[in-house]
Amino acid sequence: MKNLPKLAVPLGVVGIVLLLVVPVPSFLLDFLIICNILLALVILLTTMFVKKPMDFSVFPSLLLVATLFRLGLNVASTRLVLSKGFAGDVIQAFGHVAVAGSIIIGSVIFLILVVIQFVVVTKGAERVAEVGARFTLDAMPGKQMAIDADLNAGLITDAIAKKRRAEVAAEADFYGAMDGASKFVKGDAIAGILIIVINLIGGIATGMMSGGLAIGDALSKYGILTIGDGLVSQIPALLMAVSTGMIVTRSNAESDLGSTAGSQLTQSRTAVMIAGIAACGMAFIPGMPIVPFLLVGATLIVIAQRIKAKATAEAKAAELAALTQPEAPKETTEDLLEQMRVHALEILLAPDLVDMVSGASDDLLGRVKALRRKIALELGVVVPPVRTRDNVELPPSTYSIRIAGVEAGRGTAPAGKVLALGDYLDALPGIATVEPVFGLSGKWIPSEMRHSAEMTGATVIDRVSVLVTHLSSMITNNAARLLSREDVRVLVEGVKTVNASAVDELIPSMLSMAELQRVLQGLLQEQIPINDLGRICEALTLRAKVSTEPEGLIEAARASLGPALAAQYLDEGKLRVIMIDPVLEQSLLEGLRPSEQGTQILLDGHRIEAILSSLKQSVAVAEENGVSAVLVCAPALRPAIRRLVSAQNGGLPVLSYQEATAANGTIETIGVVRATESLVA
C-alpha cells in the first residue's frame, strides 16, 4: 500500500499502451470512460482551487498522460464499434440520449464542442503559455541576480537563497513545460476531428461490407455510435483544455479562484446595483420573458444591498474601535527624557519614502534586522537598534543616516524607481546619480525598465537594498564609535559563561571595563572582528602584567588572533604584500617617539611625502593588475605606520611581519616603498 501512489502512474501508462493493442470488453470500457471524464473534472476543479500555478506543478505531465489515456480509449472504442457494433452503455447513452438519437444533432453538438475547444480555449491557452514561458525565462537572470544581491548583503541565509533559486528554476521549467503541453491540447482537438471522420467512414464500410446493411442503415447505426464515441472523448478533452487555460492564466493569489472572483466582483456596490436595475428594466421589453429577468435583477439588487450593509457594518466597527481606544497618556518626564535621548543609529526618511517601512517581510525594517545579525556574526559587535522615522526637513526622495545624532551619510531612493549600474545607460530614461558606497555612476530608472536595463548588462538594485548597503558601510566604518561601554559589558558576560577564568583574571584586577573598551575600539577601527573575545582576553591578561599602555594592548590582542588577521586578505592562497626598503625601515625605527596618541614617526615633511608617494605608486600598480595588497613592516613600526597611511591610502591594511607570516598561504612581494633622493627633491 505504501508504494501504491509511486506505482500508480507507471502502471497506468502501461495499461494505456495495452489499450492500443489488446481488445477490452465493453463493461471495462464503460468503467475507463467514466474514470476519464471524472479525472478531467478533478483536474479542472483543482486548477480553480490552487493559489498559484506552482502548487500544481505536475499539471504538464498529467496533461500528457490524460491525453494519451483518452487516445487509448478512442482506439479501444473504435475496435468495439467496428467489430461488434456495440461499445458499451456509456457511448450508447451519449449516442441516443444526449443527442436524441439523431446523427445531425450529434454532429452539430460535436462540431460546437470542437469549435469551443480548438478555436477559443486551446488557441488562447497556447498563446498565454507561450508568452508566459518567454517572459518567465527572460526574467530569470534578474531574479537570480536579486537573490545573489540579497545573499551578499546578508539579508538571507544560504539555505533561503538555495530555496529561492530552486523556486525560480522550477517556475521557469513549469512555464516551459506548459508551453509544450499546450501543443498536446491542440493536437488532441485535431485528432478528435480526424478520429470521428475515420470512425464514420470505417463504420459505414464495415456495415455495408460485413453486415450487409444498406448505406442508410449503416450510416444511422454507426453514425450514432461514432458521434457518441466522439462526445465521450471530446467532453473530457474540453475540460482538459479549460484546465490548461485556467492554470496558465492563474496569477499568484492569497486565496482560490472562487474566493478571489467573489470578493473582486462584489467590490463595487454601484456596478452590481446598476446591473440589477438594468435586468429588471429589460424584463418589460415587449417579447422578453419577464420572470427570468426579474429573478436575476432582484438577486443582483439584494446582493448590492448586502454589500452596502456589510460596508456600513465595517465602518461602524471601525468607528467604535476608534472611540474605544484609550486616551493618549499625558506626557511625562520620562517621555521627555526619551525624546531628548540621542540614539546611536537613526535613519531619517523624507515623507515620500515612508512607504519603504511597510511591515512586509522584505521591507526596510526586516532588512535592517537581517543586517544587524550579519554584522554581529562578522565583526562580533551587537549593533544597537536602528531608529527609523520621517523628517519633513529632508528634500524629496532623500534619506539620512545618523550616528550618535550626527549625519554620517545621505543618499536618494526615489519612489517607483530602481538603481541601474553599468556602462550603457544613456538610452534609458532616469536620473543620473552616484552610488553612495562604491562611488559608481548609475541612474535611477523607472521600475518598469528593470528588464530593459538588465538586457544591457546593467546591475539593477532596488532602493531598499541601496539604503541597506549604505547603512552597512556606515556601521562597518563606524563600528568603534558604536561600541558602547554597555555593549562591552554584555559581550564580557557572554564570554564569562564559557571562559570564566579568562575574564575573572583580567577584569577588574588588571584592566577596567573602560580600558577593555578602548582596546576593542582600536581593533574595530581596523575592521578586525572581536567575536573571539575569549582569546583576546587571554592575550590581554599576559600583556597587562607588563604594561597597560593601550597601543601595546591592541598589538597583543592582534597577535592573539594569529592567522585570522591575514586570512581575510588572502587571494587564491596568496598574500600579496608591499614591503618597506630595509634602509628606510631602519631610519623609521630610529625616528619613533612616544606620544599621548601612541608612537609617532618624526621625519621631515619632504621625506614623509616621498614615502607616501612611493606607497601610492605601489598601490596603483597593484590595482592596475587587479589585485589587492597589504603593507607589511616591523612590529614596532606597525601602529605608527598605520596612523601615517590610513588617511592617505583609503584604509590600506598594515600588518606586521609576524602577522603576515602566520597566514596559511604563500607571500608574494609586489612592491617596495622607498624614499629616494629624487623623490625627496
- Rounded to whole angstroms, the Cα distance separating 669 from 573 reads 14
DSSP 406: E
pLDDT of residue 108: 75
Q: Helices H, strands E: what count in the chain?
A: 27, 14
Residue 619 CB contacts under 8 Å (≥ 6 apart), including other chains: 578, 629, 649, 652, 671
How many Cβ atoms sit within 10 Å of the Cβ of residue 51? 17
For residues 153 and 468, is the Cβ–Cβ distance under 8 A?
A: yes
Cα–Cα distances in angstroms (integers) from residue 382 to residues 379, 388, 477, in the given order: 9, 18, 15
pLDDT of residue 400: 92
End-to-end Cα separation, the chain, in angstroms: 92
The residue assigned the cell 614615502 is 611
Tell me the three state secondary structure of residue 613. helix
Question: What is the topology classification, in CATH, of domain 483-561?
Answer: Helicase, Ruva Protein; domain 3 (1.10.8)
Query: Rounded to two decimals, what is the model's pTM?
Result: 0.52
Sign of the CA dihedral with 434 first, then 438, 444, and 450 last: positive
Largest interatomic CA distance in the chain: 125
Amino acid identity of 314? E
E strands in 266-371:
345-349
**Helix 638-646 × helix 605-624 angle, to 10°:** 80
Amino acid identity of 574? K
Q: Which helix (H) or strand (E) holds 601?
A: strand 600-601
For residues 282 and 276, is the Cβ–Cβ distance under 8 A?
A: no
Question: What is the topology classification, in CATH, of domain 568-680?
Answer: Rossmann fold (3.40.50)
- Span 127-156, pLDDT tens digits: 766 766 666 666 666 667 767 666 666 667
Q: What is the CATH number that goes with domain 341-478? A: 3.40.30.60
**What cell does 7 get?**
506505482
Which residues of the chain are modeled with pLDDT < 50? 361, 677-681
Compute CA 341 distance to the chain's CA centroid, rounded to the nearest angstrom.
38
| Length of the chain (residues) | 681
For residues 468 and 389, is the Cβ–Cβ distance under 8 A?
A: no
- Span 496-508, pLDDT tens digits: 888 888 888 888 8
pLDDT of residue 678: 38
pLDDT of residue 401: 92
- What residue segments make up the domains of the chain, in order of their start? 11-256, 266-315, 341-478, 483-561, 568-680
pLDDT of residue 679: 37
pLDDT of residue 680: 35
